């Protein structure tokens, strides 16, 4: 793959890939890192047949590998990075009540899903079609609908359950 | 090939996602036309599709000091026909302009999914005794193709059949922008008031309208009203510099310098601000004095923000201060826990505001004349920029009293009377639905002259049609 291809690939898929990874990992810097590694690998590839599913598959595998390999080292780096960040002047976005709660609940709800369901759902959210998802995750086309149905249902149900728990059931929606 | 059997969930999601081959999609559609049970499943699945999308949207921009770089400004995925991509993308676009409002959008939905199913029930109850079938068939026949369905989904259209099956999807245009600006204006005002150099404000104490809003708050909370966050302290904001003078130079009292246990995870700080009578106080500014970070309480007085990981250590003490116009500030010294998050409830007492002089130049004729004046001001046609459950998106505040002679007046949607309204003051009107379950909404003219209803911006539009 030449630089021109890479550039096109990057322009086309970088944003959705990073969003996918941020949602998956909960950390933008880490997500950017994985995305970068993914595109570097693409550069080393002669040809890529199904671009989008290839990219998402590689990124997904990088995440899995890394999670397995050095989660402890990563945690340490995270901490250092956070410290460095704290010393810089960048203030975090202030969070409104809803936004902060929302995000925390969403993260916990997403964690309640099985790995494969989570990946399929996040890929779907980035516009991958069922064929691409099937290819990226090594699943059959026919199982994607069921996977997504289960993932969405669990996510929403988990979220609502958490939300009710968080509000102590006092804010019944009327 | 027709589906003699009922549709399974995978097929339904595949159909909603527009991923079935044409012949299979056609078979699904013909089955749905005849099968109320499956149509109901489709309606439910649609709720899940949208709900999941929005929950995931809440994760964007997470966990980095950098704001919304790369993915944040993403254009919609080029080749994505996916129905759910559209709302996400548009929401994201909105967020670039108005970060806090996006949260409201996502929250509403989460609740919206609950409302969805409930909406069906209510409708059934109100309309006729006959019928899950009726409500559901309506929703099933409406969409011709998954795509058409998707668009109906994301933008509540007036189509009565589609409505109940659909979560009141907030389109999250920059709609709470006005509200946000207003809240910021108020925050700025709050800061101005604590400035030693600023003379006592001559404006009358806003306690009454605020209290009014406080009462409406439980309702607002259930519909997911936004609490706009405090603008990030920046050197450009004079009000906030002031606050820095007051506190930011104070270093954090560290527990034990030799063995600092730096928090590797963010500390979520949540709580509630109330007045002495335990009524919620919205729009109070809550901040960690030492760190200059904080939030503004929402309509139900609740607030939440995070101390980012690494900023504090377990055992540190920090001051949490709540402040609001017309109330004396409350400061608590809290100790950062080793692992847990912080929950802090703060109570503010009203302060008496002394005004230099109150000049009364004449008295209005009668109270009713005044309320008429106030009412006249509100009359007209309005468009909600984002749907509010239970209210039509377009409605008219009519002058006709209900019942005759009362201060309550008619709210119409087209020719139908859908609610009643009453001017509560120059800047507040109250709307109440007519059909059970009774709901009410507070319509407020904010500091920036925007009209806000339950956190949604309301536009006054021409009544001609």
Q: Model confidence over B37-70: pLDDT tens digits?
A: 888 899 889 889 989 998 998 888 555 433 333 3
CA dihedral sign of residues B142, B143, B148, B152: positive
Q: What is the pLDDT of residue A114?
A: 93
Read off φ and ψ for residue A108, nearest 5 degrees: -65, -40
- Asked whether the predicted pLDDT for residue B324 surpasses 80, the reply is no
Span B264-293, average pLDDT = 82
User: Is residue B39 domain-shared with residue B130, that is, in the same domain?
Assistant: yes
Q: Give the whole-angstrom CA distance, residue B90 versus residue B97.
A: 11
User: Is residue B215 domain-shared with residue B296, that is, in the same domain?
Assistant: yes
Percent of chain B with pLDDT over 90: 5
- Asked whether the predicted pLDDT for residue B160 surpasses 70, the reply is no
Span B295-313, average pLDDT = 82
User: Is residue B167 domain-shared with residue B243, that is, in the same domain?
Assistant: no
Which chain A residues contact residue B227 at CB under 8 A?
Answer: 96-98
User: How many domains, chain B?
Assistant: 3
In chain A, which segments carry CATH 1.10.10.10?
A: 95-174
When mean pLDDT is compared across A76-90, B203-217, B242-256, B269-283, the lowest value belongs to B203-217
Say if A73 is an interface residue toward chain B (CB within 8 Å).
no
Beta carbons of A106 and B60 less than 8 Å apart: no
User: Is residue B219 domain-shared with residue B245, that is, in the same domain?
Assistant: yes
When mean pLDDT is compared across A103-112, B33-42, B99-108, B444-453, the lowest value belongs to B99-108
Span B449-459, average pLDDT = 75
Q: What is the pLDDT of residue B372?
A: 53
Question: Which of the residues B21, B28, B59 would you substitute to probe the A interface, choosing the one with the greatest number of A C-beta atoms within 10 Å?
Answer: B59
Identify the burial level of B258 via C-beta atoms within 10 angstroms of its C-beta, where 0-12 means exposed, 13-18 middle and 19 or more buried: exposed
CATH of the domain at B376: 2.40.128
- Asked whether the predicted pLDDT for residue B237 surpasses 80, the reply is no
Q: Give the whole-angstrom CA distance, residue A64 versus residue A74.
A: 13
CATH of the domain at B262: 2.60.40.1120
- Asked whether the predicted pLDDT for residue B451 surpasses 50, the reply is yes
Q: Per-residue confidence at B222, pLDDT binned at 50, 70, 90?
A: very low
User: Is residue B148 domain-shared with residue B183, that is, in the same domain?
Assistant: no
User: Is residue B23 domain-shared with residue B161, that is, in the same domain?
Assistant: yes
Which chain A residues contact residue B75 at CB under 8 A?
Answer: 15
Beta carbons of A155 and B51 less than 8 Å apart: yes
Q: What ipTM score was computed for the predicted complex, to two decimals?
A: 0.74
Q: What is the pLDDT of residue A94?
A: 53
Higher-pLDDT residue of B346 and B141 is B346
Q: Which of B346, B323, B324 is nearest to B333 (CA)?
A: B346
Q: What is the pLDDT of residue B464?
A: 64
Beta carbons of A173 and B222 less than 8 Å apart: yes
Spell out the CATH class of A95-174: mainly alpha
Say if A76 is an interface residue toward chain B (CB within 8 Å).
no
Pairing of β B302-307 and β B342-347: unpaired
User: Is residue B336 domain-shared with residue B397, that is, in the same domain?
Assistant: no
Q: Give the whole-angstrom CA distance, residue B230 versus residue B293.
A: 8
Q: Give the whole-angstrom CA distance, residue B180 versus residue B296.
A: 11
Q: Give the whole-angstrom CA distance, residue B14 versus residue B146.
A: 10
Which chain B residues contact residue A122 at CB under 8 A?
Answer: 56
Q: Is residue B359 part of a domain?
A: no
Beta carbons of B55 and A88 less than 8 Å apart: no
Q: What is the pLDDT of residue B436?
A: 65
| Domain span at B205 | 177-347
- Asked whether the predicted pLDDT for residue B239 surpasses 90, the reply is no
Round the CA-based radius of gyration of chain A to a whole number and report it.
Answer: 18
Q: Is residue B268 part of a domain?
A: yes
Q: Which of B292, B116, B281 is nearest to B215 (CA)?
A: B281
Beta carbons of A98 and B437 less than 8 Å apart: no
Identify the burial level of B8 via C-beta atoms within 10 angstroms of its C-beta, where 0-12 means exposed, 13-18 middle and 19 or more buried: middle
| Contact partners, residue B98, CB within 8 Å, separation at least 6 | B174, B176, B177, B180
User: Is residue B67 domain-shared with residue B148, that is, in the same domain?
Assistant: yes
Per-residue pLDDT of chain A (174 residues; tens, 9 = 90+): 788 888 888 889 999 999 999 888 887 888 888 998 899 888 888 888 888 999 999 999 988 877 666 566 666 666 666 666 555 544 445 556 667 778 888 888 998 999 999 999 999 999 999 999 999 999 999 999 999 999 999 999 999 888 887 765 444 443
- Asked whether the predicted pLDDT for residue B278 surpasses 90, the reply is no
User: Is residue B19 domain-shared with residue B105, that is, in the same domain?
Assistant: yes
**Angle between the A51-87 and A3-25 helix axes, to the nearest 10 degrees?**
60
**Angle between the B177-194 and B99-127 helix axes, to the nearest 10 degrees?**
130
Beta carbons of A124 and B107 less than 8 Å apart: no
Which chain B residues contact residue A31 at CB under 8 A?
Answer: 71
Kindly state the tokens that stand for A100: 């902060």
Kindly state the tokens that stand for B81: 């026909």
Q: Give the whole-angstrom CA distance, residue A30 versus residue A26.
A: 8
Q: What value does the mean pLDDT of chain B take?
A: 61
Q: Which of A92, A110, A152 sits opposite B65 (nearest CB)?
A: A92
Q: Is residue B435 part of a domain?
A: yes
Span B241-257, average pLDDT = 43
Q: What is the pLDDT of residue A82?
A: 63
Q: What is the pLDDT of residue B247?
A: 36
Beta carbons of B52 and A15 less than 8 Å apart: no
Round the CA-based radius of gyration of chain B to a whole number and report it.
Answer: 25
User: Is residue B149 domain-shared with residue B44, that is, in the same domain?
Assistant: yes
Burial B414-424 (b: 16+ CB within 10 A, else e): eeeebbbbbbb
């Amino acid at each position: 793959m030449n630089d021109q291809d890479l550039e096109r690939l990057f322009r086309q898929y970088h944003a959705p890939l990073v969003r996918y990874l941020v949602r998956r990992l909960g950390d933008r810097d880490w997500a950017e890192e994985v995305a970068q590694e993914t595109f570097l690998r693409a550069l080393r590839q002669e040809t890529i047949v199904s671009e989008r599913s290839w990219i998402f598959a590689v990124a997904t595998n990088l995440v899995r590998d890394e999670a397995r390999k050095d989660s402890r080292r990563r945690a340490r780096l995270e901490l250092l990075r956070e410290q460095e960040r704290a010393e810089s002047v960048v203030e975090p976005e202030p969070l409104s009540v809803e936004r902060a709660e929302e995000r925390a609940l969403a993260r916990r709800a997403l964690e309640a899903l099985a790995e494969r369901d989570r990946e399929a759902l996040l890929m779907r959210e980035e516009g991958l079609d069922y064929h691409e998802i099937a290819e990226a995750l090594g699943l059959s086309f026919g199982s994607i609908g069921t996977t997504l149905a289960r993932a969405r249902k669990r996510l929403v149900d988990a979220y609502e359950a958490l939300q009710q728990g968080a509000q102590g059931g006092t804010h019944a929606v009327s | 090939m027709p589906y003699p059997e009922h549709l399974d969930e995978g097929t339904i999601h595949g159909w909603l996602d527009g991923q079935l081959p044409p012949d299979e999609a056609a078979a699904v559609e013909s089955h749905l036309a005849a099968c109320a049970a499956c149509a109901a499943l489709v309606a439910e699945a649609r709720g899940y599709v949208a709900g999941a999308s929005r929950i995931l949207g809440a994760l964007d921009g997470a966990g980095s000091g950098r704001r919304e770089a790369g993915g944040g400004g993403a254009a919609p995925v080029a080749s994505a026909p996916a129905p759910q991509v559209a709302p996400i993308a548009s929401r994201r676009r909105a967020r670039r302009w108005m970060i806090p409002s996006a949260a409201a959008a996502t929250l509403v939905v989460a609740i919206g999914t609950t409302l969805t199913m409930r909406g069906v029930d209510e409708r059934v109850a109100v309309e006729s005794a006959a019928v899950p079938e009726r409500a559901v068939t309506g929703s099933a026949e409406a969409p011709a193709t998954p795509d058409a369905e998707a668009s109906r989904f994301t933008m509540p259209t007036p189509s009565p059949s589609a409505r109940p099956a659909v979560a009141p999807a907030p389109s999250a245009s920059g709609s709470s922008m006005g509200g946000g600006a207003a809240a910021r204006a108020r925050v700025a005002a709050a800061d101005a008031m604590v400035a030693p150099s600023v003379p006592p404000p001559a404006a009358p104490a806003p306690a009454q309208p605020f209290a009014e809003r406080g009462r409406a708050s439980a309702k607002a909370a259930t519909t997911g009203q936004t609490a706009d966050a405090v603008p990030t302290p920046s050197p450009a904001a004079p009000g906030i510099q002031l606050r820095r003078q007051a506190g930011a130079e104070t270093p954090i009292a560290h527990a034990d310098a030799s063995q600092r246990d730096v928090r590797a995870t963010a500390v979520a700080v949540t709580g509630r601000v109330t007045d002495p009578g335990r009524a919620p106080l919205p729009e109070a500014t809550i901040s960690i004095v030492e760190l200059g970070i904080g939030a503004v309480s929402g309509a139900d007085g609740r607030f939440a923000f995070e101390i980012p990981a690494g900023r504090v250590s377990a055992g540190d003490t920090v001051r949490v201060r709540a402040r609001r116009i017309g109330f004396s500030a409350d400061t608590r010294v809290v100790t950062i826990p080793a692992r847990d998050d912080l929950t802090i409830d703060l109570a503010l007492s009203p302060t008496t505001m002394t005004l230099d002089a109150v000049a009364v130049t004449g008295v209005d004729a009668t109270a009713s004349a005044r309320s008429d004046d106030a009412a006249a001001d509100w009359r007209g046609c309005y468009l909600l920029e984002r749907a509010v459950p239970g209210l039509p998106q377009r409605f008219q505040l009519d002058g006709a009293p209900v019942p005759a002679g009362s201060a309550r007046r008619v709210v119409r949607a087209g020719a139908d009377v859908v609610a009643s309204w009453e001017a509560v003051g120059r800047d507040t009107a109250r709307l109440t639905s007519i059909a059970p379950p009774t709901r009410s909404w507070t319509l407020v003219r904010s500091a920036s002259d925007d009209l806000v209803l339950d956190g949604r911006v309301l536009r006054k539009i021409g009544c001609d049609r």
